[in-house]
């Protein structure tokens, strides 16, 4: 019987696929998959997904560059996905997608429209924005976080390509190896900047892929930073405790070693099922779902 709520489940509105083609494809080096409702439902049936919370994956609407075009693309994507949800409310919810978070006015406008008129379940944002390493703890994004917090929003954080697009190996496009560290970087930035505890306390923030490298490296940061001249205001326990505020999805991250590290850091009630369809091959999704079964983890709850 299908019982899983999939919080890491992508959709490709035709207008978004077309935009990616026009800018030369996904800058991470990953392919742009074909997405259909039937293929989506077939996968859900195969691995026991009751409901999928659809999201537009990276690089997102800001891939088109121009801010007005990015807002129009975000609006078109949200309209498309909300219609899918309306047509199949038992199968789908959705996370609102935004233009670049640097475009504060446009983002606030689309958050209001998406939450109040389209009734999105939350919002998807990416690990960094702009041409530099501007991660989510940056002060430029404070008005966005204040709006999320005011609305007690569910915020799904998905990695995007690193500034340095050079691949480790030609067979390892960035989503294969680099994406987890982008998630780790933005998560630790939210913690160390104070953004998480001071400005996001009322949000439920889901980190993709088991939090990426955060579980592996939080101990290193918490054991080093408080004992330096630049980090005396922190304590090891404070840094580690903030990591427990996050929610974590299991997409492509349910092998035994990864789960062990995650469970040492996360509140176990904050671990949620994720598939990464259709960007992950069906074979990979089935493989990692079976590993979850072997570990005795259901991960069927969705944040409410």
Domain that holds residue 29: 4-295
Residue 62 has pLDDT above 90, yes or no: yes
Given a cut of 50, is residue 303 above it in pLDDT?
Answer: no
In a domain, 302, yes or no: no
Average pLDDT over residues 192-207: 95
- Does 247 map to a domain? yes
∠ CA(268), CA(92), CA(113), 5° rounding?
100
The answer to the question of residue 304 being in a domain is no
Res 179: pLDDT: 98
CB 28 within 8 A of CB 161: yes
What is the spatial distance between Cα 77 and Cα 95, in angstroms, rounded to a whole number?
Answer: 11
Helix axes 179-192, 236-243, angle to 10 degrees: 120
Summarize the confidence of residues 5-28 as an average pLDDT. 97
Distance in angstroms (rounded) separating the CA atoms of residues 208 and 160: 11
Q: What is the pLDDT of residues 35-61, one digit of tens each?
A: 999 999 999 999 999 999 999 999 999
Segment 268-287, tens digit of pLDDT: 999 999 999 999 999 999 99
What contacts 117, CB < 8 A, 6 or more positions away?
none
Residue 186 pLDDT exceeds 80: yes
Q: Is the pLDDT of residue 1 over 70?
A: no
Task: Domain count for the chain, please give it.
Answer: 1
Q: What's the pLDDT at 295?
A: 83
Q: What is the DSSP string of 259-302?
A: HHHHHHHS-GGGEE----BTTS-HHHHHHHHHHHHHHT------
Residue 98 forms part of a structural domain: yes
Which is nearest to 252 in space by CA: 299, 289, 214?
289
Give the CATH number for residue 22: 3.20.20.140
Dihedral angle computed from the Cα positions of residues 209, 148, 80 and 31, in that order, rounded to the nearest 10 degrees: -30
Whether 191 maps to a domain, the answer reads yes
Is residue 31 domain-resident?
A: yes
The reply to whether the predicted model has a pTM over 0.75 is: yes
User: Phi/psi of residue 4, each to 5°?
Assistant: -80, 140
The residues, ordered by sequence, that sit 6+ positions from 279 with a Cβ below 8 Å of its Cβ are 10, 30, 33, 57, 175
What DSSP designation does 223 have? Answer: H
Query: Taking 90 as the threshold, does the pLDDT of residue 299 lie above it?
Result: no
Q: What is the mean pLDDT of the chain?
A: 95
CA proximity to 222, closest of 127, 135, 196, 214: 214
Residue 301 lies in a domain: no
Contact 47, 275 (CB under 8 A): yes
* 241 inside domain: yes
């Amino acid at each position: 019987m299908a019982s899983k709520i999939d919080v890491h489940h992508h959709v490709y509105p035709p207008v978004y696929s077309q935009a990616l083609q026009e800018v030369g494809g996904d800058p991470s080096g990953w392919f742009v998959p074909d997405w259909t409702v039937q293929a989506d439902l077939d996968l859900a049936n195969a691995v026991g997904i009751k409901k999928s919370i659809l999201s537009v994956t990276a690089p997102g609407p800001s891939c088109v560059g121009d801010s007005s075009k990015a807002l129009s693309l975000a609006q078109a994507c949200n309209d498309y996905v909300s219609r899918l949800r309306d047509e199949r409310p038992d199968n789908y919810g959705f996370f609102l997608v935004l233009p670049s978070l640097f475009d504060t006015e446009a983002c606030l406008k689309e958050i209001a429209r998406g939450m109040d008129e389209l009734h999105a379940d939350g919002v998807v944002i990416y690990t960094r924005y702009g041409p530099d390493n501007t991660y989510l703890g940056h002060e430029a994004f404070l008005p966005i976080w204040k709006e999320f917090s005011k609305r007690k929003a569910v915020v799904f954080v998905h990695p995007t390509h690193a500034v340095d697009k050079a691949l480790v190996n030609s067979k390892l496009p960035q989503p294969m190896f680099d994406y987890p560290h982008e998630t780790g970087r933005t998560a630790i930035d939210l913690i160390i900047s104070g953004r998480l505890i001071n400005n996001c306390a009322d949000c439920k923030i889901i980190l993709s892929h088991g939090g990426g490298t955060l579980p592996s490296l939080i101990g290193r940061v918490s054991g080093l930073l408080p004992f330096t001249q630049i980090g005396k205001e922190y304590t090891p326990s404070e840094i580690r405790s903030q990591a427990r505020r996050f929610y974590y999805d299991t997409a492509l991250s349910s092998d035994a070693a990864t789960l062990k590290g995650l469970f040492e850091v996360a509140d176990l009630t904050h671990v949620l099922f994720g598939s990464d369809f259709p960007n992950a091959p069906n074979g990979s999704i089935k493989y990692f779902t079976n590993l979850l079964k072997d570990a005795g983890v259901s991960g069927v709850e969705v944040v409410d």
